[in-house]
Chains A and B, each alone.
Chain A
Amino acid sequence: GAVVSQHPSRVICKSGTSVKIECRSLDFQATTMFWYRQFPKQSLMLMATSNEGSKATYEQGVEKDKFLINHASLTLSTLTVTSAHPEDSSFYICSARPGWNTEAFFGQGTRLTVV
């Protein structure tokens, strides 16, 4: 199956700093990438939908100025958590799919801890 690589897998940062998470589709071009957040024992919550070359669409309640998404190429999307706070600590997962209703492939996730 297709591979989606997410980096880093774990990151610890100080409160107030920014953290960038990368999501790459390794063997296909992803017109659409998704960013999710998952708190312990909870399901994945969609944060935003990212289409290559256009602005991301954010879900209600997700601050677009805090969670900056860039989808500059068909194989790379980045999520930057700006001015991170301890409450931003969570498991962030991206997914990518080749077409609008095709299979979605998930990255391995990034565990963010803000101290």
Chain B
Amino acid sequence: KNQVEQSPQSLIILEGKNCTLQCNYTVSPFSNLRWYKQDTGRGPVSLTIMTFSENTKSNGRYTATLDADTKQSSLHITASQLSDSASYICVVSGYRGSQGNLIFGKGTKLSVKP
């Protein structure tokens, strides 16, 4: 069964600290993995997208890693800011029929405190 598991479910950190979010998946065949940031009451916004051949990709203070062998990904946030408070969703794209399909994780809710 295609699944995406994220941990932790929620996380509280102090402003300025770093943190790492985890994503494990069992989606097969695998096309790509994306990390999205979703503010409360808003739609998800893409942070990074990686194919199986990419090990790491950065977007400002966000760095995503991918290990396609172990089917694990992480999202590292450096020097956190209050505006980083949001849900971070790991999404894996597989194949279904003639189209790619997206499998969503439940997200990690990050709270950055002053």
Chain A: CB-nearest residue to B101: A46
Partner of A106, one of B44, B93, B100, B101: B44
Query: What residues of B have a CB within 8 angstroms of the CB of A108 in the complex?
Result: 42-43
Query: What residues of B have a CB within 8 angstroms of the CB of A100 in the complex?
Result: 98-100
| Bound CA span A9–B51, Å | 33
Question: Which parts of B20-74 form the interface with A (CB within 8 Å)?
Answer: 31, 36, 41-46, 49
| B98 and A91 within 8 A (CB) | no
Stretch at the interface among B11-19, B76-84, B104-112: B104-112
**Is A30 close to B, CB under 8 A?**
no
The residues of A with any CB-CB pair to B shorter than 8 Å are 1, 4, 6, 32, 34, 41-46, 49, 91, 93, 95, 100-101, 103-109, 111
Query: What residues of B have a CB within 8 angstroms of the CB of A95 in the complex?
Result: 43
| B46 and A6 within 8 A (CB) | no
| A43 and B105 within 8 A (CB) | yes
**Is B86 close to A, CB under 8 A?**
no
| Bound CA span A91–B41, Å | 8
Query: What residues of B have a CB within 8 angstroms of the CB of A1 in the complex?
Result: 46
Chain A: CB-nearest residue to B90: A43
Shortest Cβ distance from residue A104 to the other chain B in the assembled complex, whole angstroms: 7
A-B contact pairs, 17 of them (CB 8 A): A4-B43, A41-B106, A42-B106, A43-B104, A43-B106, A44-B44, A44-B104, A45-B104, A91-B41, A100-B98, A100-B100, A101-B93, A101-B99, A104-B102, A105-B46, A107-B43, A109-B41
